[in-house]
Amino acid sequence: MMLLASDVLGGVTPAAIGVSFGGPVKAEECVVLLSHHVPGWEKVPLHERLEARFGAPAAVDNDANVAALGEWRFGAGQGCRSLLYVTVSTGIGGGWILDGRIYHGADSLAGEIGHGEEVHGGL
């Protein structure tokens, strides 16, 4: 992933990096908890690695949370104070926007409606 990003950037330092990760993320710490699709992505401090590699601030969140924010800001949720976004693809996920902010819940897994128990039990 970082090699591809380096190639695309062509030596230019980005102003910031945003990652929408397809799996549970501990949002406060920007740590990938696990990937349901790629082995070896357990408790990975992805933002630290990106910041060290590219010299720019990085943010990481779950893909459904980021999609929910996009819908709230630019799509069907425009004008709403809050919304629930549900995605069904390689899994079932969701993202909550409450009063214009992503709601992560007490353990950062509020939107993990299809995998929450797996994550809670294993990590």
Catalytic residue among 61, 63, 99, 107: 63
Phi then psi for residue 122, to 5 deg, are -90, -20
Kindly list the distances between the CA atom of residue 69 and the CA atoms of 28, 30, 88, in Å, as whole numbers in the listed order.
16, 17, 17
Tokens of 73: 């800001």
Element (H, E) at 9: helix 2-9
Asked whether 75 and 61 are in contact (CB, 8 A), the reply is no
Residue 39's SS3 state is: coil
99 is catalytic: no
CA gap 45, 33 in Å, rounded: 9
**Residues classed as catalytic:** 63
